[in-house]
Amino acid sequence: MLLAIDVGNTNVVFAVFDGDKMAGQWRISSDSRRTSDEYGVWLLQVMERAGLEPKKVKGAVVASVVPQTLFDLRMLAKNYFGCELLIIGAPGTNCGIAAKIDNPREVGADRLVNAYAAWQRYKQALIVVDFGTATTFDVVSGAGDYVGGVIAPGVNLSLETLHKAAAKLPNVGIIPPEKVIGTNTVGAMQSGIYYGYAGLVEGITGRIKAEYGAPMKVIATGGLASLYAKACSAIEHLEPDLTIFGLKALYELNQK
């Protein structure tokens, strides 16, 4: 079995693969102070509840946008599963995709994983929209190269900032409102954050396509992707576990 770990700014996603099948997936909040033992005790418990035997894990792979977590995750793999942790983006690691931008080292490991996984699946020019702490748009050429992207504030981040900056505005949940015109403060905020980001996605993907000048597919992933796919006609395919499956594919690529 393979342990795949996706470390984001908000959550850490752990998944276990048994062959090609994902046998379990769990989330825990990101905290750079969390120790390998804290990860280990929690992970063994959730695996046990899922009927998975830790001793069957023979490999581990991670993509992290929080570098401070890597030491303890490496110790987690070594001490609890008896294997070395493959770190995507580390020197000597094959990311499966060429980053043809001004400074390739600036690209987050998760974005390269998403780009590689999406291109392997669709084999054409792509825009990968990831609804995470930031809302990112990653552009993959028809040849399978990472050629750039766009970074915008994430949905939850924007909503939290709005609540903190305006004393009279409450903290509201993200739900699709029945109508665009809000007749109260909560309704107006929900409409703004929901349809505002739908417009952001449609506007940016449209501009990317016009600038690229060739047919492109738009893939959505990330925690809120399923919510926004309903409102964004630009989104053609929903891939909620794109990063996790990309980690599995890159682990296998590096074993070769």
Q: Sketch the domain layout of the chain as residue ranges.
A: 2-87, 104-240
Q: What's the whole-model pTM score? A: 0.90
Three-point CA angle 51, 54, 58, nearest 5°: 125
pLDDT tens-digit readout, 112-157 = 999 999 999 999 999 999 998 899 999 999 999 999 999 999 888 8
Element (H, E) at 93: none
Strands 134-140 and 146-153: antiparallel
Residues 6+ apart with CB under 8 A from 38: none
Judge if 2-87 and 104-240 fold alike in CATH terms: yes
Lowest mean pLDDT across 117-121, 166-170, 232-236: 166-170
User: For the segment 94-109, what is each residue's pLDDT rounded down to a tens digit?
Assistant: 999 999 999 988 898 9
What's the Rg (C-alpha) of the chain? 19
Q: Which residue among 72, 110, 130, 138 is the active-site one?
A: 110
In this structure, of 98-102, 119-123, 176-180, 218-222, the range with the lowest mean pLDDT score is 176-180
Question: Is residue 169 scored above 80 in pLDDT?
Answer: no
pLDDT for the residue 78: 97
206 — pLDDT class (breaks 50, 70, 90): very high
Query: How far is residue 252's CA from residue 256's CA, in Å, rounded to a whole number?
Result: 7
The span from the first CA to the last CA of the chain, in angstroms, equals 17
Q: Give the sheet arrangement for strand 2-7, strand by strand.
A: 21-29, 11-18, 2-7, 59-64, 85-87
Q: How confident is the model at residue 70 (pLDDT cuts 50, 70, 90)?
A: very high
Per the annotation, the verdict on 110 as an active-site residue is yes
| Percentage above 90 pLDDT, the chain | 79
Write down the pLDDT at residue 170. Answer: 78
Mean pLDDT of the chain: 93
CATH code for residues 104-240: 3.30.420.40
Tokens of 228: 């926004």
The answer, yes or no, to whether residue 167 has pLDDT greater than 70, is: no
Architecture of the domain defined by 2-87: 2-Layer Sandwich (3.30)
DSSP result, 149-165? EEEEE-HHHHHHHHHHH
Phi and psi at residue 215, in whole multiples of 5°? -60, 140
* Furthest CA-CA distance within the chain: 59
